[in-house]
Chain A
Amino acid sequence: MTTYKLFRSIDGEVNVVIRNSKDSIPFDPDNTDYQAYLKWVSEGNTPEQETQ
């Protein structure tokens, strides 16, 4: 099962999400991994809260 955890960048913004504790996905609408993450959220799932 895919897991997601939000990541806070050094500018203080939460604009990256970590997938399966190994891949970092930027919040870019053109990134298909980000699109998959948004679909996962739209299905009622909630990511782990951010670190940093």
Chain B
Amino acid sequence: MTMTLDGTNGLTFNDTSLQGAAASPYVLKNRIINGAMVINQRGFSGTPTDGAYTLDRWYADMGVASKFTVSQNAGSVTPPTGFVNYLGVTSSSAYSIGATDIFTITQRIEGYNISDFAWGTASAKTVTLSFQVYSSLTGTFGGTLRNNGNSRCYPFTYSIPVANTWTTISVTIAGDTSGTWLSTNGNGVAVTFGLGVGSTYSGTAGAWSSNLYFSATGATSVVGTNGATFYITGVQLEIGSTATPFERRLYGQELLNCQRYYYKQIGSTGYPFFSTGYVNSATRMFGIFNFSQMMRATPTLETTGTVSNYVILSSAASPTVTALSIDGQTTNFSAFLIIDASAGGMTAGQGSIFRGNNTSSAFIAYAAEL
């Protein structure tokens, strides 16, 4: 194996890949989670509502309802070399965007994970956003990076010169020396890809602005062409002025990264087990579930909305659930569940289990998204 080291390229491996800058280590460099679009805990496929999460960590802005769909590996094209998944957007109509319309795909990055960017200071570091993109359209496309208060925005453009071909994109962005950038568990920076953004929210590419922008002026509108496709994967945001090879993560590592923000329990059978606990009264169970890690915030409990999807098991009864909630004592590391059942028949003090009621659609999810 041959490696060369010089002051221009840094470390060059024998496959010609570069370690372009010491500031961008070979591992733990990518601040994007699920950039390879592998994790889809929600099993999302369809038309997202405005603000809804699709594949893990990626949410959609849908300024006007039902203008595009999102699916993992939509259209079943061959992913770029080294990838097996992509996030696929398909336009549902030929929609003429209005001045204030916003259609995007975005990931908000937790402030803890970009604190070394030092944005908002004189030491702000340059970063590079890279990704692979495939579209039925050609032309100039756009997106932005934004702070939590939407008071600092950097529109960028990139070109897709050939339709229906994976294109590697790299955008280098000088760090912002102004504004407030969170280094907490809040929204550190939002990375947005425009799919059609009106003039009000489109700005001049290549410069920081205090205006709120979701894309760059003149960018192609994906939602403007019925059936148009926009596929993306290999998204990486790293410190440095050169895009380095995409940071590979083991499946379990990336799933764990995602579960800080969303944790879904769902079984392959009709009886997934969600929690153990004890019977508090003839009609009530208390359950405890410890998360795999500290979630970003105390999470929202999401259910199917059909209480008969759930059942309690205790020694003498298996009553169907009639109400389900978290208790206020839930924390970001443990859920305290209150599960009611009208049929009763349980005995206080006995152990119990909370599970699905013979339906594969039963799930429990905990959401602490940004």
* Chain A residues with a Cβ under 8 A of chain B: 7, 9-11, 13, 15-16, 18-28, 30-34
Query: In the complex, what residues of B have CB within 8 A of residue A21's CB?
Result: 305
Question: Cβ of B297 and Cβ of A16 under 8 Å apart?
Answer: no
Which residues, 320 to 370 on B, are CB-close (under 8 Å) to A? 324-330, 332, 338, 367-370
**In the complex, which range does the number of interface residues on chain B fall in?**
20 to 34
Question: Cβ of B325 and Cβ of A16 under 8 Å apart?
Answer: yes
Given A10-B329, A23-B302, output 12 extra A-B contacts at Cβ < 8 Å: A9-B328, A10-B338, A11-B329, A16-B328, A20-B305, A22-B303, A22-B305, A26-B330, A30-B185, A30-B296, A32-B297, A32-B370
**Most chain A Cβ neighbours within 10 Å, of B324, B326, B330:** B326
Shortest distance in angstroms between A7's beta carbon and chain B's nearest beta carbon?
Answer: 5
**Most chain B Cβ neighbours within 10 Å, of A16, A24, A28:** A24
CA distance A51 to B78 in the complex (A): 52
Residue in B186, B286, B326, B368 whose CB lies within 8 Å of A24: B326
Query: In the complex, what residues of B have CB within 8 A of residue A22's CB?
Result: 302-305
CA distance A23 to B262 in the complex (A): 14
Mind listing 18 A-B residue pairs with CB under 8 Å? Answer: A9-B328, A9-B329, A11-B327, A11-B328, A13-B328, A16-B325, A16-B326, A21-B305, A22-B303, A22-B304, A24-B300, A24-B325, A25-B300, A26-B330, A28-B332, A30-B368, A31-B298, A31-B368
Query: Is the CB of B171 closer than 8 A to any CB of chain A?
Result: no
Query: In the complex, what residues of B have CB within 8 A of residue A26's CB?
Result: 298-300, 326, 328, 330
Query: Is the CB of B228 closer than 8 A to any CB of chain A?
Result: no
A-B contact count (CB 8 A): 63
CA distance A32 to B367 in the complex (A): 9
Shortest distance in angstroms between A29's beta carbon and chain B's nearest beta carbon?
Answer: 8
Shortest distance in angstroms between A6's beta carbon and chain B's nearest beta carbon?
Answer: 11
Query: Is the CB of B313 closer than 8 A to any CB of chain A?
Result: no
Query: Is the CB of B301 closer than 8 A to any CB of chain A?
Result: yes
CA distance A19 to B332 in the complex (A): 19
Chain B's closest residue to A13 (CB) is B328
CA distance A52 to B363 in the complex (A): 24
Which residues, 232 to 286 on B, are CB-close (under 8 Å) to A? 286
Query: In the complex, what residues of B have CB within 8 A of residue A13's CB?
Result: 328
Query: In the complex, what residues of A have CB within 8 A of residue B286's CB?
Result: 10
Query: In the complex, what residues of B have CB within 8 A of residue A25's CB?
Result: 300
Shortest distance in angstroms between B26's beta carbon and chain A's nearest beta carbon?
Answer: 32
Residue in B296, B303, B327 whose CB lies within 8 Å of A10: B327
Chain B's closest residue to A15 (CB) is B328
Known: A9-B328, A26-B330. A31 touches B303 (CB 8 A): no
CA distance A21 to B304 in the complex (A): 10
Query: In the complex, what residues of B have CB within 8 A of residue A34's CB?
Result: 300
Query: In the complex, what residues of A have CB within 8 A of residue B185's CB?
Result: 30
Question: Cβ of B301 and Cβ of A23 under 8 Å apart?
Answer: yes
**Most chain A Cβ neighbours within 10 Å, of B297, B300, B305, B367:** B300
